[in-house]
Amino acid sequence: MEQKHDPTKPRFFIDKRGNWFQDGIKIQHRLTYLYNNKLLSRDEEGRYYLDEGSGKLYIEVEDTPFVVKMVDKKGDDFYIILNDKTKEKLDLHTLSINPENIPYAKIKDGEFDARFLRPAYYEFMKYLKKEDDNYYIMSKGAKYVLKRIP
């Protein structure tokens, strides 16, 4: 049975695990998936879109378009591997945590937020300490408190 596209909704959707869907069908072709992530942008109003040259295609995002799949600690620094296969140094100043204790960080020079997936969460939680209701991490003698997201 063919699915009809609702013209009032974006054709693209990204779920909270970083999976992409087009017209309700999961994008499984790896190169298409990576290409879409590479083209992802935000407009002045904060809406996500793709632009392949023929205009903006808006995207509905369940939580964050990018997710942290793995955390790697090297010395006092943390590196994260994202769902688009890129690796970057974690900016500890940008860490936050939601009411379900799921950490988030700013990535791509602060342009996007990324949610930690369960394996990255478990690895990262090894380094977090709890004080009262706050989580923090120590690095290079500095204390970084994860900001609470309401």
Q: What is the pLDDT of residues 7-29, one digit of tens each?
A: 567 899 999 999 999 999 999 99
* pTM of structure: 0.88
Token readout for 150 is 């309401």
List C-alpha distances in Å: 70 to 130, 131, 141.
22, 25, 24
What's the whole-number mean pLDDT along residues 64-88? 96
**pLDDT tens for residues 112-144?**
999 999 999 999 999 999 999 899 999 999 999
Q: Are 103 and 113 in contact (CB under 8 A)?
A: no
Task: Identify the structural domains of the chain with CATH numbers, from first to last.
Answer: 12-61 (3.10.540.10), 66-148 (no CATH)
The pLDDT score that the predictor gives to residue 4 is 56
The pLDDT score that the predictor gives to residue 41 is 94
